[in-house]
């Protein structure tokens, strides 16, 4: 470990992630489980991107959003899951540099904040399609879609550069153990030896802005959609639309709900261990289920998949 002297304190330059220490006999099954989750996440999301890119019928805002969401999920899982796998395998032996850890957290934050914006855009797209079908092409077209996507990235980059700057100022002088399975904000702040009041205040306000605000917008869109669906005359159409919406609403609530508990609620010792489990939901479960829930239950995507498989057969 590299040690430098500064202000009479030994500054540490490497962290140990000890979130998965002491698994014992469970080490191999847990490793296999996470590996499987990673592979399924990658395959599911890559499949969606391929379908959206290949099939011209899927070049509509809804599917462009989905394709972009899948790209995002791939980066998101690849930022976190390989590290979890290494930690399960090596226990607390593996180290990560302080800078690497801060960058990992900020990349995670960037992708998560962008995902929040994309989820708003996707629910707005469905709201316009279902509640204002006559205005759909004016309110939502490929250009608006591009603006939404670019806006999401710019907004999140701006927010995360503030956090990156503040985290870059932190000093660490031990202990070097982070009680988590990836470089999560609060476990890092807990072991910092500089004053963390400012960064805590800033992250709480920014996460409220980036999580609560999109959450309420998404929720509002789905409530309007569901109330419109309830007024539909066809029972089968009502059932189908309702089941689609409620499954979207479920993954969205899990994603936002767990993030709100971890980032926005006050930090107490009781919540600490629960938060470790909750963060599994927004880091691992959402990227795994999003492609399944948003696409593979969808008739047009199934049709595109069937056509693609047929083409592949002819080709072979």
Which residue, among 1, 23, 25, 22, has the nearest Cα to 13 in the 3D structure? Answer: 1
- Choose the binding region for ligand NAG from 67-75, 111-119, 234-242, 253-261 (rule: CB under 6 A): 67-75
Give min distance, CB of 49 to ligand NAG, in A. Answer: 5
Question: Which of 41-44's residues contact partners 24+ apart within 8 Å by CB, and which partners?
Answer: 41/73, 41/74, 41/77, 41/81, 41/284, 41/287, 41/288, 41/291, 42/74, 42/77, 42/78, 44/70, 44/288, 44/291, 44/292, 44/296
When asked if residue 146 is in the footprint of ligand NAG (CB under 6 A), the reply is yes
Angle between helices 98-131 and 142-168 (to 10 degrees): 150
Nearer to ligand NAG, 50 or 254 (CB): 50
Asked if 245 and 229 count as a contact pair (C-beta separation under 8 A), the reply is: yes
Least gap, CB of 122 to ligand NAG (angstroms): 12
Residue 142 contacts ligand NAG per CB under 6 A: yes
| Distance of closest approach, residue 142 Cβ to ligand NAG, in angstroms | 6
Q: State how far the Cα of 251 lies from the Cα of 254, in Å rounded to an integer.
A: 5
Q: At what angle do helices 27-54 and 299-315 cross, to 10 degrees?
A: 90
Q: Least separation, in Å, of the C-beta of 60 and ligand NAG? A: 10
- Give the contact letters, 29-58, x = binds to ligand NAG (CB under 6 A), - = no: --------------------x--xx-----
Q: Select from 61-69, 177-185, 219-227, 234-242 the region that touches ligand NAG (CB under 6 A).
A: 61-69
114 vs 275, which CB is nearer to ligand NAG?
114
CB of 250 to ligand NAG, least distance (A): 23
Q: Provide the binding-site residues for ligand NAG, judged by CB under 6 A.
A: 49, 52-53, 64, 67-68, 71, 142, 145-146, 149
């Amino acid at each position: 470990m590299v040690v430098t002297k500064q202000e009479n304190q030994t500054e540490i330059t490497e962290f140990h992630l000890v979130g998965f220490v002491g698994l014992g006999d469970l080490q191999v099954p847990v490793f296999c489980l996470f590996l499987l989750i990673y592979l399924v996440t990658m395959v599911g999301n890559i499949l969606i991107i391929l379908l959206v890119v290949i099939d011209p019928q899927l070049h509509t805002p809804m599917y462009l959003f989905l394709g972009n969401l899948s790209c995002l999920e791939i980066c998101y899982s690849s930022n976190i899951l390989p590290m979890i796998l290494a930690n399960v395998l090596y226990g607390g032996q593996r180290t990560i540099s302080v800078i690497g850890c801060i960058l990992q957290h900020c990349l995670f934050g960037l992708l998560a904040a962008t995902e929040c914006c994309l989820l708003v855009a996707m629910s707005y797209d469905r709201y316009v399609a279902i509640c204002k079908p006559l205005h759909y092409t004016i309110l939502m077209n490929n250009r608006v879609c591009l603006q939404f996507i670019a806006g999401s990235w710019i907004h999140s980059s701006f927010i995360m550069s503030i956090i990156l700057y503040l985290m870059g100022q932190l000093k660490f002088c031990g202990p070097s153990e982070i009680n988590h399975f990836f470089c999560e904000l609060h476990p890092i702040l807990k072991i910092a030896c500089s004053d963390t009041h400012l960064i805590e205040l800033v992250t709480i306000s920014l996460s409220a802005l980036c999580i609560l605000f999109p959450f309420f917008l998404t929720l509002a869109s789905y409530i309007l959609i569901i109330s419109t669906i309830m007024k539909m005359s066809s029972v089968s159409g009502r059932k189908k639309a309702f089941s689609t919406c409620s499954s979207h609403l479920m993954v969205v609530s899990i994603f936002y709900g767990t993030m709100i508990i971890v980032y926005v609620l006050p930090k107490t010792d009781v919540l600490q261990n629960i938060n470790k489990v909750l963060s599994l939901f927004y880091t691992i479960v959402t990227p795994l289920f999003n492609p399944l829930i948003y696409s593979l239950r969808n008739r047009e995507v199934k049709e595109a998949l069937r056509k693609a498989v047929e083409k592949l057969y002819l080709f072979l």
